[in-house]
Structure 1
Amino acid sequence: MERREMTELRLMLFLCFSVLMAACGGDGVNGGGSGGFAGGTGGAVGNLSIQGSIATPTFAFVDGDTNDPNNPRQDNNFVGEADVQPLGNPGVLGGYLGSIDGSADVDDWYFVSLAAGQGATLFIPNPMNTDFDLYLFNDAGEQVANSINTGDLDWVQAVSGGDHFLLVTACLDDACSTGGPGLYNLTVGTVSISSTVEGQLSSSHDFVEGDVLISEGDDTRLPKARLPGDWRRLNERLDVKLERRAPVVGRWKVRRRSSASNVAPVVRSPLAKAIQWSPTIAAVKALRRSGTTTASPNYILRATAAPNDEFYPFQWHYPLIGLEEAWDVTEGEGVTVAVLDTGIVSRHPDFAGKIVAGFDFISDPQSARDGDGVDPDPEDPGDLGENGSGSSFHGTHVAGTIAATSNDGQGVAGVAGRASIMPMRVLGVGGGTSFDICQAMLFAAGEPNAANNGASPPADVLNMSLGGGPIDQCAVDAIAAARAKGIFVVVAAGNDNKNSDNISLAGIPDAFTVSAVDINKEKAFYSNFGDRVDVAAPGGDLRVDLNSDGYADGVLSTLANDNGELLYGFQNGTSMAAPHFAGVVALMKSANPN
């Protein structure tokens, strides 16, 4: 590394740390307040002595393989298994790629633990003369993401949490002749990119190999042989040719005329050598750096997974939380959700083939309305009360939101349409008791209970769209037992428009408490609130029809009535919000069981 470049590296790190230190503030010299230096005007100033020490922040790192004799040498080219430099999270690192002791330093590898959605941002101070790229691999060596931009920023994000490898490289292709020498800054942690940054160039997105799109007017110099800079160098080393796909305007063909490279390859790690480079991406990047800024791959777009269920167009509450994008990944396969509620009308067509063995824990036969007490039949006979009001079939509506069969051309869709439902009957006429509900929780978790048996295997998620009364130890212990087995417990916040921190079950810390929002993503007029609320989900508002679809803005799901008819209907409440989140948890468990 040149002395000037080493000085620039130190300066870049110093400026970075100075900004961070300046944010910490202080009380000034001699214990002064926030007003700063207090002195007279025109008085003599005596000798001023400042003592102290400056320590490098624990989140600050320096590239281990530079020519700096003051920096302990640590190879990080990953040619050997130990040649990976660990980084903290959060972390900031100053690095260099170029010539090290006369050898080519084209790759820097780092090892870091990331949570889902976290990642790294690569900043290049001098992108006109330096071009580096950023790759992310999981701990199995599988490429998760890459960023091959031409500006001063590259960024990657982890899909799931765990240990990862980061690669900062000067190599775009197997010839390893792009980029460098130069400095870079790598930031690990939360990735926040301004919307004004140019679109990311990445081979992680599907595209048509051999196709390049160039806006009309930006292609006036093509395909002349005298294209400047990077395009000329690309032709020299990889023999890539650009041809217009006549008569289509703006679409060009990239063709590599020879598989041989005119530049000798350098020593790289097996993982780096395994990267499948693309002549199309190389061409787009070279064109952009040579002034043809609109050059882009011909990306492949696909329809999102909107289900074909008959009444899905009226389920506004699913697009509100971006479910169609999630369904491109999973629909909840292999996950069981226990629904502790009024039971279920299992013969509803949207539940065909998806119900696993549940239980009826209503111990009072009069409340149960099925002629007996605790039994293995969670079928809902209705909770018709003495006042003559119709039955709610509340559990059937909740279960449909979680896991109604999707893409069957009929009825409605569920949040996790391929998940299984474990119906647990705990609410009858007039509600349910704490004891019965606690026993049902233990059953669903596979724990000892009043029925002397438990679910095997246990449920993955528990949904309880119920609550009221003060927090009791029975519920606290049952939820803790479920959580100890890795089971997610989801509860409704309640519909009294008040703080629910001290209400059972919403106020129990081990449960995920869900409040409700309306179609505008604003707090629903009825929804409880408080510090114990973890998340909000669509709960609807039957008073209005803001989307003008001809129906009140409630949550549409499966229903039944006391005449035995199988229906679909709109309801609102945090009871409707909670199953949205329970279904999302089921999707997450399906996508990442661990």
Structure 2
Amino acid sequence: MKKVLTFLIISALLVSTIVIAAPLFKVKTANTVQKTQDYVEGQILVKFKDGADVSKTINNLGSSTIGENTKGGFKYLTIPANKTVEEMVTEYSADPNVVYAEPNYILRSYMVPNDPYYVYQWHMPMINMEQAWDNNTGSGVVVAILDVGVAYEDYDVYAQAPDLAQTNFVPGYDFINNDSHPNDDNGHGTHVCGTIAQSTNNNLGVTGIAYNSSIMPVKVLDASGSGASDVVANGIYYAADNGAQVINMSLGSSFLSTTIQAACNYAKSKGVTIVCAAGNSGQKVLEYPAALEACISVSAVRFDSTLAGYSTYNDSVDITAPGGDTGVDQDGD
């Protein structure tokens, strides 16, 4: 069953569907990072060797501890005001007590096109979904969506997306606001959720691909669609430890994060299937985490089964799925 469901989720990652019109989302102001930044300023991530005199090393290099991820074994450190992130990564990396040091890289969501009616969901016959539904609709499988959150509940200023009313949800977490309400303040995560498990056979909107799966919303990106690598890693550990069998990440960065790599390896060691968008750069270099060995990378094709112009591609991509092309009406609708 898991192999079939994995195919459904891979197919779902990039296909075009509509979840709900943007004006119906309830959004509140959130702290965001600048889109031009590659990493969080003023801090780095460091993992020390077992038995190391951590406090001494941190004090000698003029840093201070912000926090620690005990599961991943890394610390969040501030850096001296007169030092750059690159300089401090170099200094810590040279210390014999350090396993690795790296910037706290920022990952960003990948946008995908929408379409409001099942009759226009050309991607469904392309991936033979009606035949697949005869065998499996995702029942019994938990899919963690690591994104900007999901419009899954009526809470505070947020409202549930109407066509998620019959979708199954399990508890998730908001690592941006540090609470148990991972609501969507952007729209991207709800789109991804609808693609995977939008309520189906309810005479409303369109259909989800694995519509009887259970969704675990894990918010690791802020309202701008950006999130630091430590936060994404926290989400991966959370999903792996709380029953997710599949993790979906439609996000990425051009930088390799050892922190995220370790989290993905941990999830894979627990039998979790990790599916990631290859990227939207249109270049031949895969982005991360899709490029990691622990992840299944997915690129996008158009209606005519040719590569979508925005999609990242090379021989390392594991599979392609329908993604569409808003620049041309290939099916005449």
Q: Same fold (TM over 0.5)?
A: yes
CA–CA distance in structure 2, aligned partners of residues 470 and 532 of structure 1: 17
CA contact (8 A) 1:500 1:532 kept: no
Q: Identify which of 154, 174, 177 aligns with 1:360.
A: 174
Q: Report the alpha carbon displacement of residue 351 of structure 1 after superposing the two structures with TM.
A: 1.7
Where do 1:181-580 residues align within 5 Å?
311-346=117-152, 347-353=160-166, 354-362=168-176, 373-382=177-186, 393-430=187-224, 431-446=226-241, 455=242, 458-501=243-286, 503-549=287-333
Deviations 1:224-258 (A, max 9, x none): xxxxxxxxxxxxxxxxxxxxxxxxxxxxxxxxxxx
Deviations 1:84-103 (A, max 9, x none): xxxxxxxxxxxxxxxxxxxx
Where do 1:83-232 residues align within 5 Å?
none
Deviations 1:490-514 (A, max 9, x none): 000111111234x311210110000
CA contact (8 A) 1:444 1:459 kept: yes
Where do 1:23-62 residues align within 5 Å?
none
CA–CA distance in structure 1, aligned partners of residues 223 and 163 of structure 2: 25
CA contact (8 A) 1:312 1:412 kept: yes
Deviations 1:329-361 (A, max 9, x none): 121111111000110111112222411111111
Count of equivalent residues: 210
CA–CA distance in structure 1, aligned partners of residues 216 and 315 of structure 2: 30
> Gaps (5+ residues) in structure 1?
1-115, 117-309, 363-372, 383-392, 447-454, 550-594
- Which has more radius of gyration? 1
Q: Report the alpha carbon displacement of residue 469 of structure 1 after superposing the two structures with TM.
A: 2.8
Matched residue SS, 1:477: helix
Higher helix share goes to which structure? 2
CA contact (8 A) 2:148 2:220 kept: yes
CA–CA distance in structure 2, aligned partners of residues 325 and 525 of structure 1: 29
CA contact (8 A) 1:514 1:534 kept: yes
Query: Which letter maps to 1:375?
Result: D
CA contact (8 A) 2:275 2:290 kept: no
Matched residue SS, 1:459: coil
CA–CA distance in structure 2, aligned partners of residues 518 and 378 of structure 1: 32
Q: Report the alpha carbon displacement of residue 411 of structure 1 after superposing the two structures with TM.
A: 1.1
CA–CA distance in structure 2, aligned partners of residues 323 and 429 of structure 1: 32
Deviations 1:94-140 (A, max 9, x none): xxxxxxxxxxxxxxxxxxxxxx9xxxxxxxxxxxxxxxxxxxxxxxx
> Gaps (5+ residues) in structure 2?
4-115, 153-159
Deviations 1:234-290 (A, max 9, x none): xxxxxxxxxxxxxxxxxxxxxxxxxxxxxxxxxxxxxxxxxxxxxxxxxxxxxxxxx
CA–CA distance in structure 2, aligned partners of residues 492 and 524 of structure 1: 13
Q: Report the alpha carbon displacement of residue 531 of structure 1 after superposing the two structures with TM.
A: 3.1
CA–CA distance in structure 2, aligned partners of residues 490 and 479 of structure 1: 11
**Cα RMSD (Å) of the superposition?**
1.5
Q: Report the alpha carbon displacement of residue 443 of structure 1 after superposing the two structures with TM.
A: 0.1
CA–CA distance in structure 2, aligned partners of residues 378 and 510 of structure 1: 25
CA contact (8 A) 1:442 1:481 kept: yes
CA–CA distance in structure 2, aligned partners of residues 381 and 527 of structure 1: 25
CA contact (8 A) 2:256 2:289 kept: yes
Query: Which letter maps to 1:337?
Result: V
CA contact (8 A) 1:490 1:511 kept: yes
Query: Which letter maps to 1:333?
Result: S
CA contact (8 A) 2:148 2:223 kept: no
CA contact (8 A) 1:438 1:474 kept: yes
CA–CA distance in structure 2, aligned partners of residues 425 and 481 of structure 1: 19
CA contact (8 A) 1:337 1:420 kept: yes
- Divergent runs of 4+, >2 A: none
Q: What percent identity do the matched residue pairs reach? A: 42
CA–CA distance in structure 2, aligned partners of residues 541 and 438 of structure 1: 31
CA contact (8 A) 2:185 2:223 kept: no
Q: Report the alpha carbon displacement of residue 313 of structure 1 after superposing the two structures with TM.
A: 0.6
Deviations 1:523-580 (A, max 9, x none): 101110123310000111011111112xxxxxxxxxxxxxxxxxxxxxxxxxxxxxxx
CA–CA distance in structure 2, aligned partners of residues 427 and 415 of structure 1: 24
Greater relative contact order (Cα 8 A, min sep 6): structure 1 or 2?
2
Q: Report the alpha carbon displacement of residue 381 of structure 1 after superposing the two structures with TM.
A: 2.7
Deviations 1:421-440 (A, max 9, x none): 11111111440000000000
CA–CA distance in structure 1, aligned partners of residues 165 and 246 of structure 2: 20
CA contact (8 A) 1:336 1:461 kept: yes
Matched residue SS, 1:541: coil
CA–CA distance in structure 2, aligned partners of residues 334 and 407 of structure 1: 19
CA–CA distance in structure 1, aligned partners of residues 331 and 178 of structure 2: 44
Matched residue SS, 2:143: strand
